Structure 1
Amino acid sequence: MIVPCEAPVMTLPAATLFPQSLLPVYVFEPRYRQMLVDVLESHRLLVVAMQKPTCAREVPHNIAGLGLVRMAVQHRDGTAHLVLQGLARVALGDTLRYKPYRLQRIVPLPSQTASPEESRLLLQQLRQLVERHLELGLPFPPPATLAQTDDAPAWVPCPDAMAAILRDTLDLKDPDIVADLVSAMLVGPAEMRQQLLECVGTADRLERLIAYLQEELARHGDPLGGCI
């Protein structure tokens, strides 16, 4: 995949776009409405970056997700519902302009792959933890992007559908894809999601995800937490 050298940036609180994952977004701000019009008339690509929570003004995290607009439903009032598909991790570079929306240089961040044996062992651990989460029926976190305004409809995940998608994900062979999709579906806290997005090392990402899932199991009183 050829990553462009620049792209429009949508800065959202608590939002993370992992490679290969799907992210629903409700567009209501005038600048993002204009962004959507422009990207639909061109390459359909935009970057989703998480807003740094400690900054009063708009300051996106330096590591973000490049996404493709897979679906866009535009409404009469100018708002729209999108589904973005994550394509790549990117590092944000110089800001080329701020109006009518932010446009920045971007650099792709390819994964630093682990050895086949290390990946196999880490994936085995991850699969056991995910299966245990499913056995316990722990809740799936909703996409943060649909909780930013009262105008956006409530999103309630279907547990059976999500469980089926997760099990299909666990059958995949690529450790990077598995780690990113599991992170997108099971990790709720925004800070943890951003940390996982910033992990370019496959082994590091899998280890952090495994540690998070173990903590979640332990928090729910499951003896398997921390024991794998």
Structure 2
Amino acid sequence: MASSGNRLSIFPLGGALLFPRSHLPLHIFEPRYRALVTDALARDRRIGMIQPRDRNEPPALFDVGCVGRIAKVEALDDGRFNIVLEGLTRFRLLSEIDAATPFRQIEASFEGFDDSVPPPPLASVLRAELERESRRFAEARGYVLDWDAVSRLDDEALVNGIAQIAPFDVAAKQALLETPTIAERADLLVQFLNFFARGDEDDTTLQ
């Protein structure tokens, strides 16, 4: 990929995080995003996932997202799609393109993101702390999980999987996406799990 000036078609969706080497299933039903998927399949299968900052129309966007490749696609008879995105690398939004397409397009840079290779393992103490806080959070919320399966996940899959499914607010999710290393993301997750376990996700917002 070039270092700058990369044109990306984007899907702004709050709370939907994509990380390098992770997977994100999506059900595509809005006409503009059905057009986005159709266009991506005809080109390079890439879609940029990015979170909106607000609820305006169109919403303002955060500066950092993650580009994914459509790894699986199911085209339904009524024009909808079920797709699975495989994360490639994070990107930084440079500018928005005045495009004639129904979906938004941006110029993006991939500089500054070392996402091409898997990260080194977490320190055993941090891994244990993350598993412990995850269990406490799940028990506090009444979630039932297969903890044996969780314990078998590699560090990257564990950290990013929790970041994807945890019911944190958009600001917290964005902070997790933007952490430079997996260790820093795991440490931040421990803090968020502790913080959000003390309140309801509907009325507890990280400022």
TM-score by length of 2: 0.75
Q: Partners in 2 of 1:16 and 1:47 — Cα distance? A: 11
Question: 1:85 matched to which residue of 2?
Answer: 86
Per the TM alignment, residue 55 of structure 1 is displaced from its structure 2 partner at its CA by: 3.7
The equivalent position to 1:110 in structure 2, one of 109, 113, 123, is 113
Aligned length, in residue pairs: 190
Contact 2:176 2:188 in 1 (8 A): yes
- Structure 2, gaps ≥5 residues long: 200-207
Question: 2:22 matched to which residue of 1?
Answer: 21
SS in 2 for 1:77: coil
Question: 2:161 matched to which residue of 1?
Answer: 181
Question: 2:203 matched to which residue of 1?
Answer: none
Contact 2:15 2:170 in 1 (8 A): yes
The equivalent position to 2:180 in structure 1, one of 197, 200, 204, is 200
Deviations 1:30-50 (A, max 9, x none): 221111112112211110111
- Structure 1, gaps ≥5 residues long: 141-156, 221-228
**Following superposition of structure 1 onto structure 2, how do residues 55-70 of structure 1 map, counting pairs within 5 Å?**
55-70=56-71
SS in 2 for 1:138: helix
Deviations 1:138-189 (A, max 9, x none): 389xxxxxxxxxxxxxxxx9833xx4553232x44xxx66533332244533
Question: 2:151 matched to which residue of 1?
Answer: 167
Contact 2:11 2:47 in 1 (8 A): yes
Q: Report the residue type matching 2:24 in the other structure.
A: L
Q: 1:138 to 1:33 in 2, by over 3 A?
A: same
Per the TM alignment, residue 136 of structure 1 is displaced from its structure 2 partner at its CA by: 7.2
Q: Partners in 2 of 1:47 and 1:55 — Cα distance? A: 20
Q: Does 1:210 align with 2:196?
A: no
Q: 1:139 to 1:34 in 2, by over 3 A?
A: farther
Q: Partners in 2 of 1:215 and 1:138 — Cα distance? A: 14
Q: Partners in 2 of 1:19 and 1:68 — Cα distance? A: 10
Q: Partners in 1 of 2:133 and 2:59 — Cα distance? A: 39
SS in 1 for 2:173: helix
Question: 1:224 matched to which residue of 2?
Answer: none
Q: 1:191 to 1:206 in 2, by over 3 A?
A: same
Q: Report the residue type matching 1:33 in the other structure.
A: R
Per the TM alignment, residue 65 of structure 1 is displaced from its structure 2 partner at its CA by: 1.1
Per the TM alignment, residue 54 of structure 1 is displaced from its structure 2 partner at its CA by: 5.4
Q: 1:22 to 1:74 in 2, by over 3 A?
A: same
SS in 2 for 1:88: strand
SS in 1 for 2:139: coil
Q: 1:29 to 1:205 in 2, by over 3 A?
A: same
Q: 1:211 to 1:7 in 2, by over 3 A?
A: same
